[in-house]
Structure 1
Amino acid sequence: MTSTQITPSQRAAVVTGASTGIGQATVRLLAAQGWRVFAVARRADRLQELAAETGAIAVPTDITLDDDVDRLLGIVADAGGVDSLINIAGGARGAERMVDAKTADWDWMYQANVVGTMKMIRAFLPMLREQTDGGTVLNLTSTAGMVSYEGGAGYNAAKAAQRAMTRALRLEEAEHGVRVVEVLPGMVHTEEFSLNRLGSADAASKVYDGVEKPLTSEDVAGIVAYAVTVPHHVNLDEIVVRPLAQAAAHKVIRKQ
């Protein structure tokens, strides 16, 4: 393998969840800023389109599979390594109350949000630790990990677990020169999040009915890019971001 030491002028990142939404927007923004970006997701066709558009390196990967993660690590190391791991992949499935909870949906959410993130971190930490100018792990969690709501128990539980893991990681890695950042978005209108969760375009659109200017993928990507670009001694531990119309998890201003 080639050296995995990143020079100060050559920032490089792995971005998961890159086939859509916030992950895709983050790849676009970092690539435009001159980063070398490894775009990671399961859907190879979407990654290839993104790579052609941005110059990112497409690496189709299922982050919940050990063999896929090991293959990704080898590709990244052979290409020169990275100093930042940006874990965007995740999501929600279902909005049933506990009495109607679907085991398959809960299993998927835990694997996608928690276990997949853990496997990526476990694989890349040795590389991040060896960076002379410091490595960074950024996990995209959610305000759903802070405040629970009816019909959200599975997603609340998965994001709360991902949040707890992130906070433990920060304590463990500070002495190794790895900063750990958590970005917690509230209501973000993306291409697929609510559609995947609720199963229909009509149900997904109702989530945002009457909400003036919900956050966009680009809004959150800008915050992610800022957090990994500031000087390494600056650690933005937790960044909670909501649209103005969402004053709190339980209060959303909707105009008719």
Structure 2
Amino acid sequence: MTALAGKVVAVAGATGPAGRAALRRLAAGGATVVAAGTDPARLDSALDAVRAAVPGARASGQIVDLLDPQAAHDWADHIEAEHGGVDGLLHLVGGWRGGKRFGDTDLDDWDYLHDRVVRTLQHATLAFQPALLRSPAGRFAMVSATAAHRPTAGGAAYAAAKAAGEAWTLSLADSFAKEVPEDGAAPTAAAAILVIKALVTPDMRHRQPDRAFPGFTDTADLADTLAGLWDRPAAELNGQHLWLTPR
């Protein structure tokens, strides 16, 4: 048995490469995974893939628009009612927009990234925070990027969105440290920020066998790190940046 076994984990952005890898790894570790997406066909495909890869996987899915705060709260309430609790929320909703020059920045890119990267994270964390506090081992993680720490001229909108997500997550982490069930009790929930340069999938490596992808993080390695969140004490993990690429 591992620390992950028996945990109930919600995965936002489950239909992308990171989400699919996370679903497989979590299910293989004995967790019950509840996937969310906005495209029914892609969500069904992701669930079929995890069930094929992990016989007996406890996996279900729900169409959720995380730009709708009520939909996010309904999702959290549904999971807690069905499974008796929620032990994790992984925010794997991604997206990139940008250009080469600062002067060419299109603020429509900011609007897109603000909604996709920041607003979905805000709605999801506000919805799930109470349940994660109630869990004996609540965990939250978002995937950030080196761009938030070393912005480039053409990536202002993307860097700003990721930086905003990090700040929001650190506030969530502070709530986990302070809002404990009983005075003097040790916190049991933790929020962490995984920092990557970019992701690489097995298919990308297959299609470009001569490319080194320097500094990229394999989706399987990202999934292993996510699964390992339950192996670490909350006090050690909460509010930390976990770098999966050279700083």
TM-score when scaled to structure 2?
0.81
1:121 Cα shift? 0.5
8 Å CA contact 1:142–1:186 kept in 2: the answer is: yes
1:191-232: CA deviations, max 9, x gaps?
A: 999xxxxxxxxxxx8xx9553684221121111111233344
The whole-number CA distance in structure 1 between the counterparts of 2:112 and 2:201 is 20
* 2:86 aligned partner: 82
* Letter in structure 2 aligned against 1:18: A
Shift of 1:77: 2.1
1:182 Cα deviation after fit: 1.0
User: Deviation at 1:124?
Assistant: 0.6
Once superposed, which parts of structure 1, at least 4 consecutive aligned residues long, lie more than 4 Å away?
190-193
Structure 1 residue 21: deviation in Å? 1.3
In 2, the alpha carbon distance for the partners of 1:235 and 1:215 equals 20
SS at structure 1 position matched to 2:225? helix
Instruction: Please give the alpha-carbon distance, in whole angstroms, between the structure 2 residues aligned to 1:210 and 1:234.
Output: 33
The one-letter code of the counterpart of 1:11 is: K
Q: Is the 8 A contact 2:95 2:116 kept in 1?
A: yes
Bigger helix fraction = 2
Match of 1:238 among 208, 218, 241: 241
Contact 1:20 1:191 in 2 (8 A): no
Distance 1:209 1:151 in 2: 24
Aligned positions of 1:105-254 closer than 5 A? 105-131=109-135, 133-176=136-179, 177=187, 178-190=189-201, 211=213, 214-235=216-237, 237-242=240-245
**In the alignment, what sits opposite 2:103?**
99
Q: Secondary structure at the match of 1:167?
A: helix
Structure 2 vs 1, CA of residues 169 and 192 (structure 1 numbering), >3 Å: closer, same or farther? farther
* Unmatched segments (≥5 aa) in structure 2: 51-56, 180-186
Distance 1:105 1:213, change over 3 A: closer
3-state DSSP of counterpart to 2:217? coil
Q: Root-mean-square deviation (CA), in Å?
A: 2.6
Q: Using structure 1 for the length normalisation, give the TM-score.
A: 0.78
Letter in 2 for 1:162: G
Q: Please give the alpha-carbon distance, in whole angstroms, between the structure 2 residues aligned to 1:107 and 1:192.
A: 30
Matches within 5 A, 1:51-62: 51-54=47-50, 55=57, 56-62=59-65
More displaced, 119-128 or 92-101? 92-101
- Counterpart of 2:183 in structure 1 is none
Structure 2 CA distance for aligned equivalents of residues 33 and 94 of structure 1: 37
Give the total of aligned pairs: 224
Question: What SS does structure 2 have at the residue aligned with 1:183?
Answer: strand
The letter of the residue matching 2:20 is Q
Asked if 1 retains the 8 angstrom alpha-carbon contact of 2:146 and 2:195, the reply is: yes
Distance 2:44 2:22 in 1: 16
Secondary structure of the 2:140 match is: strand
Instruction: Provide Cα deviations, 1:109-142, integer angstroms capped at 9, x if missing partner.
Output: 01111111011000011111112x2311112111
Asked if 2 retains the 8 angstrom alpha-carbon contact of 1:64 and 1:119, the reply is yes
| Structure-2 residue corresponding to 1:196 | none
Q: CA deviation at 1:94?
A: 2.9
Given that 2:197 and 2:216 are in contact with CA atoms closer than 8 Å, whether structure 1 keeps it comes out as: no
Matches of 1:117 and 1:213, distance apart in 2: 25
2:48 counterpart SS class: helix
1:30 to 26, 31, 41: 26
